[in-house]
Structure 1
Amino acid sequence: MSKKPLIVAVSGASGLIYAVRTLKYLLAADYHIELVASKSAQMVWLSEQNIRMPSEPIQQEEFWRQQAGVETAGKLRCHHSGDVGANIASGSFRTLGMIVIPCSMSTVAKIATGLSSDLLERAADVQLKEGRKLVIVPRETPFSVIHLRNLTTLAEAGVRIVPAIPAWYHNPQTIEDLVDFVVARALDQLDIDCIPLQRWEGRK
């Protein structure tokens, strides 16, 4: 396995279970994760789960491991969203790429226009300028024409866009099954295969 870290970014979109399940599988597979969550993600946690996400990185690491149910495996380092001097803000810090999961339309717009007002946006901008893999998992419906134009701009720049749209051919039995399908397909874009998934094999 590559020793390069993977950046996992969590924006303020609904569906934080996608981020939790992503961390669960990556950490269990012994990946090195550099994580940054936006300020809005803290508000979403409070709204969806009535849980307050810590703002300090050390406490965040414990928080995310607890949510993912992975206490010791892998390596997890969290960053404050306002720390634009962090390692992941520089192109000289080599990574496997970056995934933004879930990704709000506000974050999509800022990345598409090259804004870097916080660490999440700066890290995404760095992946683009360095020609590294960037995957976003937008969680919004319906899409406005502005959303679609911003997504098109990102796609034209080489970003892989994996909407949070699950499939049913693998016979999902739980919400987690539906979530894991999306997470697995998103990680496929980074050539990471660490989730047990019944893949389509054609008609029997």
Structure 2
Amino acid sequence: MVVRGDATELLAGLPTAGVDAVVTDPPWNLGRPYGGHDDRLPDDQYVRWLNGILRQCARISRGPVVACVGTHNAGRLPRLLAGTGLGVAARLWWHREPGSAEAVVVTAPPGWQVRGPRLDAAERVLARTPETRRRWGHPVPKPLPVMTALVRLSAPPGGLVLDPFAGSGTTLAAARRAGRRSIGVELEARFCRTAVRRLALAPTGRSERRA
């Protein structure tokens, strides 16, 4: 499902513990052309904005909140997570191109733990995944294999995944591919149309059997 709107407003209306996981790639405040979103906010304003989103994500998710924060935001993590109730459960990396890497942070409420094979499998996929070549009209889409690995890591088979920054729909297509359900929130109308199209094209994966 793709919902057009501002995550700052729409997340407040979603039920507490209503999804199994949040998997998202939020704007990094680097001046990317996202359309209606200002990606050049003053630092304190950006931190307050994304911290508010993460607070809502922590409330809505029964499990982890997985965010592709990038090395650019590594120093902001304490402020981004302040008051959210989330702690860093794991740090993963994927190699965007030779000589560079991007950070993925798995945050979670107390008591949630990343366990063995699921994390190991995600690390292997992330480590060898090249940058996507098809951009779907989006300035910085994530590779589908990366998001598929993160969805499988964070949500149970058949579970519900939320992406408050759906963009071109990579997380949603990944969830469909992995046998999970998904809700995507996206501000920009053209990205919503692309996400809907990608969902229609994405193959439906078989959910792994629950343990």
TM-score grouping bracket, smaller chain normalisation: 0.3 to 0.5
TM-score by length of 1: 0.40
Q: Which has the higher strand share?
A: 2
TM-score by length of 2: 0.39
